[in-house]
Amino acid sequence: MNVKGTFFVTTKATVTEAFGQERWNKFMARLAAKDKYFKDTVIMSITLMPLDKCILLFDELIDECFNGDKNASYVMFGMIGAKHALSPGGPYQSLMLIKDLKQFVESGLPKIWSTYFDGGSVTTKLENNVVYIRITGFHIKHVYYEKLLMGYYKQVLKVFGKRSTATMVRSLTAGDDDLYFKYELKDS
């Protein structure tokens, strides 16, 4: 499975803003020395990057710049990615033209998945002020990446104007066959 390089562009912008271009360049040089993918590949927003390389980048970056706090950092990167993608000027801002919450949840959220990943699928529903998101065909067992996805969708709902409490109902790393998130909406 591959992920679109949009995540890389957003991550680079976030890290260079927080730590400076020089630190990013040093980090990438060290990463390229560990894995030739990062030496041989120009990663642009349209690049389809193997998901294991994406996870390697995040793991190494979090170890180096965020004291190894993968739990909080993966959620943070998910939320930053969503905010960037859907904000004015972001690559997927057109999804914010959907004004009906049910339509946004049930048609917009699955489109977000397919803009990033070339595999797996997302089904969503809004029922009794709760958003349910089920991800199937995603075979990467990585607890922190699961938290990135949960944080991403939480922020998507926030950008849409809905605060929520997120719960991971099912998890691949816990032995389930899918990822299943529940977001109880507030202010609705």
pLDDT tier at 132 (50, 70, 90 boundaries)?
very high
Give me the domains of the chain, ranges plus CATH numbers: 2-75 (no CATH), 94-186 (3.90.1520.10)
Pairing outcome for strands 130-136 and 179-186: antiparallel
Of 140, 151, 139, the C-alpha closest to 70 is 151
The stretch 54-72 carries a mean pLDDT of: 92
Across the chain, what does the average pLDDT equal? 92
The pLDDT of residue 188 is above 70 = no
Token couple for 70? 């993968």
What's the CA gap between 87 and 149, in Å, rounded? 18
Query: Could you tell me what percent of the chain has a pLDDT over 90?
Result: 75
Helix (H) or strand (E) holding 78: helix 70-86
- pTM for the model stands at 0.87
Q: What is the pLDDT of residues 140-169, one digit of tens each?
A: 888 888 999 999 999 999 999 999 999 999
**Cα separation, 156 vs 84, whole angstroms:** 10
